[in-house]
Structure 1
Amino acid sequence: MNTLDLTPLYRSSIGFDRLAGLLDSALSSDAVSPNYPPYNIEALEDNHYAITLAVAGFTDQELDIKVEKGVLSIRGEKASNEQHNYLHQGIANRSFERKFNLDDHVEVVDASLDNGLLTISLVKEIPEAMKPKTIAINKASKVIEHQSASKSEAKGDKAA
C-alpha cells in the first residue's frame, strides 16, 4: 500500500496542524487498529448526532467514556477472566478502545447502554459570535453638505 507524506503540508501551513494530524491518523489508523467494536455514526437532526457501539457482554461499570482535547475515547475493559469451555466463540469479549475526533463546538450530552448498544449523544453548539448575522440595509441615506469655513465666513461678511 502506498503511503502519503504530509510533510509539505506541515512546512507550508500555519495553524492547520490539527487538520494534518487528523489526516495522518485517519490514513494510518485503519491499517493498524482492529474494527472492534462495530459502530454507527448518525446525524439525527441539525447539530444533533449519535454514535452507537455494539458492546455485547459489557456492563456499564466495564465501560469508560472520556473527552479530552477534542477526542472522544470509549474504552471497554472486561472485569472477569472466567475460563469457559467454548465449542465456538463468536462473541468477542476482549478489551477495546475507540477514539473519535470531535469538532471544536461538539459536546457530549448523554450516554446510555441498552440491549448491548452503547449510544452517545452529541450536540454541536455554535457560539452566538460565530452564527451568521443579517445586516439591515439603510433605505434612506442622508447627504451631509460640507461647508468650508471660508464660505461660511464669506456669507457672514456679506450679511454684516
Structure 2
Amino acid sequence: MRTFDFTPLYRSTVGFDRLFDMLDSGIRSDWPPYDIEKLGDDQYRISMAVAGFAADEIELTQQGNGLLVSGAKTQTEDRADAFLHRGIANRSFKQSFSLADHVKVTDASLENGLLSISLTREVPEQLKPRRIAIGTTEAKPAGEPRQIGQDLKSAA
C-alpha cells in the first residue's frame, strides 16, 4: 500500500526520476532478514540470515547500481510425513539493493547460515576533489605611473 503520491513532484522537478522510483519501490520483502552496517567512511557490509542455503544455492549479481541477491533451494526428495514441524524456510528468495555511485562488491562469504557481503566505495581519481593552486601575475612597481590607455596601446 502506497501512502504518498509523488505525481505533483514529477511535474515540478527535472532529473530526479531515479530518486522517485526508489521511493516508489521502497516496499521491501522482509525475508530473508538482513542488516546493513557502515564499517568506515567507504566500507559497508550487508549480512543476511540464509539458514539452510548452501553457497552454490545463492547467487550475487551486481549490475550498474543494483545488487541482486537470490537463492533457490535444490530439489530434494523429502517425505512430507517425516517432519513434525518445519520452521526453516526452504522457499526461494530475491532481494535487491540500490547501491550508491562507485560502490562495488569486494567480497562475499557464507558462514554458519549468515551471508556477509562486503562493499567498498571506490571513487575514480578524476572524480575526486583536487586542490588547484592560484597563480599570480607580476605587478608593476608601485612608484611607476600608469596611464589608463597605455596597456591597451602596447597590446595592439
TM-score (norm 1): 0.79
C-alpha distance after superposition, 1:122-146 (max 9, x if no partner)? 11111223222223345x6532575
- Say which of 143, 148, 151 aligns to 1:147: 151
Amino acid at match of 2:138: K
CA distance in 1 between counterparts of 2:65 and 2:87 reads 34
Q: Do residues 131 (structure 1) and 128 (structure 2) align? A: yes
Deviation at 1:88, TM superposition (A): 2.1
CA distance in 1 between counterparts of 2:95 and 2:2 reads 25
Partner of 2:68: 73
Partner of 2:87: 90
Partner of 1:17: 17
C-alpha distance after superposition, 1:57-101 (max 9, x if no partner)? 101111111112311111110112423432222222211111100
User: SS state of the match for residue 147, structure 1?
Assistant: helix
- Say which of 99, 103, 106 aligns to 1:106: 103
- Say which of 114, 119, 123 aligns to 1:117: 114
- Unaligned runs of 5+ residues in structure 2 are 141-145
CA distance in 2 between counterparts of 1:80 and 1:2 reads 36
List structure 1 runs of 4+ shifted beyond 6 angstroms. Answer: none
Task: Give 1 or 2: higher helix fraction.
Answer: 1
Amino acid at match of 1:110: D
CA distance in 1 between counterparts of 2:152 and 2:33 reads 78
CA distance in 1 between counterparts of 2:2 and 2:151 reads 73
For the aligned residue pairs, the C-alpha RMSD in angstroms reads: 2.2
Q: Do residues 47 (structure 1) and 51 (structure 2) align? A: no
Q: Would the alpha carbon gap of residues 129 and 92 (structure 1) be closer, same or farther in structure 2, given more than 3 Å must change?
A: same
- Unaligned runs of 5+ residues in structure 1 are 151-160
Give the length in aligned residue pairs.
Answer: 144
